[in-house]
Every structure is written in structure tokens, then in C-alpha cells.
């Protein structure tokens, strides 16, 4: 049966280095959580604590009614009703694909015909019906990871853990296997936790994304909420930016909109803290999707005006295209603004050639102004765990 995973104040140190710092989260039954963070942020350690391979120093892990780790309780991995898929596949080299997949069932002493039926069925589901007798060294990387996925699914565990399972595969294969992992995991009904440092992989897979920074969970929300309301500059940077500017607020905020003056020009942004007062210093982080280009001579690009201050964004910022890359559906551009700063990954269906002067319109929804002074940041961290976009006063 599908269960809820509950993690509370999980902490872990190696020597004097605190690798996990009171990490708490809940994954509802059958939901798919992706933990996203840079190298060294503690993702693997957290997953290993959930699996029982690593022992946490403090905190609890519960799965349904059962405590997996709590106080002195520390259940061994094979008593946690879970299976794990590893980055390096971790197949037994001396066993065939069917042997690897059937191992867990043999340990459970399932009758042989039943075991063989389930192994054949799951290998069919991962597209390896014709490779059941092959040994790992006779399989490609993608095929080996499919065997590992089949091995994880075959005993229908309640909890599935994924440790960067796609990172050793090339781009095309990654995308195909990502879809298979997503589909087969959801079909199985298991609760899933998946770690990665790849933002696009995380957003594509997750029901909810948790962002880890230095062993702390700094935001936990749907991919849409993380993209639309990144709780900190770190989260915004780690989930995709066109560029960053610094500036000052110009007048008070209306709702959560604030007019900004920067060296590149004046525009409206979303205020991500207490930037209501005039002249507050801010960092502005800009999503690629918020940027629209128009040739400096035509009338496009000035239609994303703000209700609060229509005149401010009507002008757009002045810039020059410094790179144009064809992407099939259109073109990605690099634009240098008048202050010398750059916006990258700016998409337009039409190409703007290198050296072309352009006007850059910025959608306030994708421009986040964070006050640089800590006293202007939010006092409590409840907004970090937003399930829907929240209004920040
Ligand atoms: N067994 C260990 N002994 C000492 N330090 C460790 C041990 N395991 C991990 N660490 C340290 O803990 C920190 C977090 O490591 P962890 O592997 O959990 O991060 P990660 O986010 O998974 O990184 P990566 O994406 O590079 O795998 C790192 O600084 C790492 O060097």
C-alpha cells in the first residue's frame, strides 16, 4: 500500500562538517519529490539516510505508521520497504538481466514460477524482453539502467529512491529514460524521492521540488511555484536565469510590484521582501522567459506594461545582440545592455542578428527584486514552503 514519507529535523555531520541541517519534509502517498541542489549540498547523504545506508545524527524518518529512523531505532535498508536506483546502475556483473531483477524475489522466497512471471513482466515493461539472458557487460548504459529500474520495481516497494539515475547517460537517452521513470514510477503507485543537480530534469519529473543549499532545505513547492516565486536569490539562480542587475526602488511598492532604477534603465519587478520604501537597494534576478526582444526600430516588445506604472516599462531597456543560436523552435540570444551586463538564453521565434540594436521588454512576473540588506528580507520562513504562489507584503 502506498504510504506517506515523513522526515523531521534530519541532521548529519561528518566530523565537524554539518552536511544535513534539520531537514524536514513530507511526501504524500504516491507523490514524486525531487530534491535539487548543487554538488556538496547534501543530496546523496539525505537519500542514504532515507535508505538506511547512512545513520542520521538526529531527527526522524517515518514511512506510513512505521518509524524507519527515530531515536535508537534504525531499520536496516532491507526492512524499509524501499528500492533504490543508483547513478552507476550497481548491477551484479555475474548475473544476467533476469538474474539481477529476480534477486529480490528469490530472497523473499517467492515460488519460482511466480518469480519468473514477474521478472519477465517487468523486463517487458522497461523494453528489455529480448535481453533477459544478457549480462551487464553485454548491455549499453541505458539498458543497464533499465535493468536497475526493473529491479527496483519488481517487488512493488512502497518507496522508490533515485540517486541521479540519468547522469551517466547521453542527452537523448536521458530524456527517454526520464519519461519511462516518470511513467513507471507513477504506475507503480510508490512514493518517490529523486535527487539531481539538473534543474530541467527536476522540473520535468517532480510533483514537488525541494531545493537544498548547504544541507538546508530552502524551498519546497511545486515546480511552478519555485519558478514563479523563488524564495531566495540562490533558488532563483539555481533554477535558471537570463541575468542579474543591481538597482534601487523608485517609490513604494504597489501590491508586490515595484519600480526600479538600474544602470541599464528603469523597469517594474516583483518585490521579494520588504522593498516598499523608496531607495531600497535590490538585486534583480531575471528569468529568461520574462525577456522579450524587439528590434530597436519596430513597435514590438513594448506591450508588457505594468498596471502600476505603465510608462516605466513602455520604453524597454536598450541593448545589443552579441550572440544568436538556432534552437529549432527559434533562436536563443545573448543581449548586452547599456550598462555592460548581459542577458543570456533570450528566446525569440525570429532571429535578431549579432550587432543588432534591440529593445528589451521585461515581464515583472519574471523579474525578482531581493533587497540586499538582510533587514529588508522576510522575518519568518513560512513562504519558503509555499504550495501555491504567496503574496509577499
Ligand atoms: N562519508 C563521508 N565522510 C566525510 N564527508 C562526507 C562523506 N560523505 C559526504 N561527505 C561530505 O558531505 C558533503 C555533502 O555530500 P553529498 O554527497 O551528500 O552531496 P551531494 O549534494 O550529493 O553532492 P554530489 O552531487 O556531488 O554527489 C560534501 O561536502 C561531502 O564531501
Q: Could you give the angle at which helices 171-188 and 141-153 cross, rounded to 10 degrees?
A: 10
Q: How confident is the model at residue 315 (pLDDT cuts 50, 70, 90)?
A: low
**Beta strand pairing status for 357-362 and 317-326?**
antiparallel
Write out the H or E segment, with its range, that includes residue 65: none
What separation in Å is there between the alpha carbon of 238 and the centre of ligand 1?
19
Give me the pLDDT at residue 305, please.
39
The pLDDT assigned to 1 comes to 65
What is the atom index within ligand 1 of the atom nearest the CA of 48? 18
Predicted local confidence at residue 376, as pLDDT:
54
Kindly state the average pLDDT of the residues 93-97.
95
pLDDT, greater one: 35 or 379 = 35
Minimal-distance CA residue to ligand 1 atom 29: 40
Cα 296 to ligand 1 centre (Å): 49
Q: How confident is the model at residue 104 (pLDDT cuts 50, 70, 90)?
A: confident
Residues 56-65 pLDDT 10s: 999 999 999 9
Mutate which of 10, 11, 13, 19 for ligand 1 pocket (most atoms within 8 A of beta carbon): 19
Give the pLDDT confidence score for residue 184 in this predicted structure: 93
Q: Do the strands 73-74 and 66-70 form a parallel or antiparallel pair, or are they unpaired? A: antiparallel
pLDDT at residue 238 in the model? 94
Give tens-digit pLDDT for 186-209. Answer: 999 999 999 999 999 999 999 999
Sign for the CA dihedral angle at 118, 121, 125, 126 comes to positive
Residue 47 Cα: closest atom of ligand 1: 18
Q: Is the pLDDT of residue 103 over 70?
A: yes
Tell me: pLDDT of 117 over 80. Answer: yes
Question: Which pairing describes strands 257-262 and 265-271: parallel, antiparallel, or unpaired?
Answer: antiparallel
Q: Nine-digit cell at 32?
A: 514524486
pLDDT at residue 37 is higher than 90:
yes
**What's the DSSP call for residue 376?**
G
What is the share, in percent, of the chain residues with pLDDT greater than 70? 90
Q: Per residue in 152-184, pLDDT tens?
A: 999 899 999 999 999 988 888 889 899 999 999
Between CA 17 and CA 253 the distance in angstroms is 41
> What is the pLDDT at residue 111?
86
Strand, helix or coil for residue 31: coil
What is the average pLDDT value for the chain, to the nearest integer? 89
Confidence class of residue 255 from pLDDT cuts 50, 70 and 90? confident
Q: By alpha-carbon position, which residue is closest to atom 18 of ligand 1?
A: 42
**Is 244 in contact with 286 (CB distance < 8 Å)?**
yes
* Residue 197 CB less than 6 A away from ligand 1: yes
Residues 59 and 46: beta-carbon distance below 8 Å: no
Instruction: Identify the weakest region by mean pLDDT among 39-48, 180-189, 300-309, 344-353.
Output: 300-309
Q: Tell me the pLDDT band of 214, cut-offs 50, 70 and 90.
A: very high
Distance 329 CA to ligand 1 centre (A): 39
- Between CA 253 and CA 270 the distance in angstroms is 9
Does position 384 have pLDDT exceeding 70, yes or no?
A: no
pLDDT of 142 above 60 = yes
Residue 374 has pLDDT above 70, yes or no: no
- Position with higher pLDDT, 56 vs 312: 56
Q: Is 360 within 8 Å of 317 (Cβ atoms)?
A: yes
Amino acid at each position: 500500500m502506498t504510504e506517506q514519507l515523513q522526515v523531521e529535523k534530519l541532521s548529519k555531520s561528518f566530523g565537524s562538517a554539518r552536511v544535513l541541517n534539520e531537514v524536514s519534509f513530507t511526501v504524500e502517498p504516491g507523490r514524486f519529490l525531487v530534491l535539487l541542489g548543487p554538488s556538496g549540498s547534501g543530496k546523496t547523504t539525505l537519500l542514504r539516510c532515507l535508505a538506511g545506508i547512512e545513520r542520521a545524527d538526529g531527527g526522524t524518518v517515518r514511512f506510513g505508521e512505521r518509524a524507519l529512523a527515530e531515536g535508537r531505532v534504525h531499520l536496516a535498508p532491507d526492512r524499509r520497504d524501499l528500492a533504490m536506483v543508483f547513478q552507476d546502475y550497481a548491477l551484479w556483473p555475474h548475473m544476467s538481466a533476469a538474474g539481477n531483477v529476480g534477486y529480490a524475489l528469490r530472497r523473499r522466497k517467492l515460488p519460482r514460477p511466480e518469480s519468473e512471471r514477474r521478472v519477465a513482466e517487468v523486463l517487458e515493461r522497461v523494453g528489455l524482453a529480448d535481453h533477459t539472458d544478457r549480462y551487464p557487460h553485454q548491455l549499453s548504459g541505458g539498458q543497464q539502467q533499465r535493468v536497475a529500474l526493473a529491479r527496483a520495481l519488481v517487488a512493488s516497494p512502497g518507496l522508490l529512491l533515485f540517486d541521479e539515475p540519468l547522469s551517466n547517460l547521453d542527452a537523448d537517452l536521458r530524456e527517454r529514460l526520464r519519461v519511462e521513470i516518470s511513467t513507471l514510477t507513477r504506475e507503480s503507485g510508490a512514493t518517490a524521492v529523486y535527487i539531481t543537480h539538473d534543474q530541467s530534469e527536476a522540473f520535468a519529473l517532480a510533483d514537488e521540488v525541494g531545493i537544498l543549499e548547504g544541507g538546508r532545505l530552502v524551498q519546497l513547492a511545486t515546480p511552478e511555484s519555485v519558478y514563479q516565486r523563488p524564495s531566495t536569490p540562490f533558488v532563483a539562480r539555481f533554477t535558471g536565469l537570463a541575468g542579474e542587475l543591481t538597482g534601487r526602488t523608485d517609490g513604494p511598492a504597489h501590491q508586490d510590484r515595484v519600480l526600479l532604477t538600474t544602470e541599464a534603465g528603469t523597469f517594474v519587478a516583483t518585490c521579494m521582501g520588504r522593498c516598499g520604501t523608496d531607495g531600497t537597494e535590490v538585486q534583480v534576478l531575471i528569468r529568461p522567459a520574462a525577456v522579450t526582444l524587439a528590434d530597436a526600430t519596430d513597435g514590438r516588445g513594448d506591450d508588457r506594461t505594468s498596471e502600476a506604472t505603465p510608462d516605466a516599462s513602455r520604453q524597454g531597456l536598450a541593448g545589443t545582440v552579441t550572440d544568436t543560436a538556432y534552437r529549432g523552435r527559434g533562436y536563443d540570444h545573448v543581449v548586452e545592455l547599456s550598462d555592460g551586463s548581459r542577458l543570456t538564453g533570450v528566446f525569440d521565434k525570429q532571429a535578431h542578428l549579432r550587432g543588432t540594436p534591440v529593445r528589451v521588454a521585461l515581464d515583472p512576473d519574471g523579474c525578482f527584486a531581493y533587497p540586499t540588506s538582510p533587514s529588508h528580507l522576510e522575518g519568518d520562513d513560512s513562504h519558503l514552503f509555499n504550495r501555491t504562489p504567496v503574496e509577499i507584503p
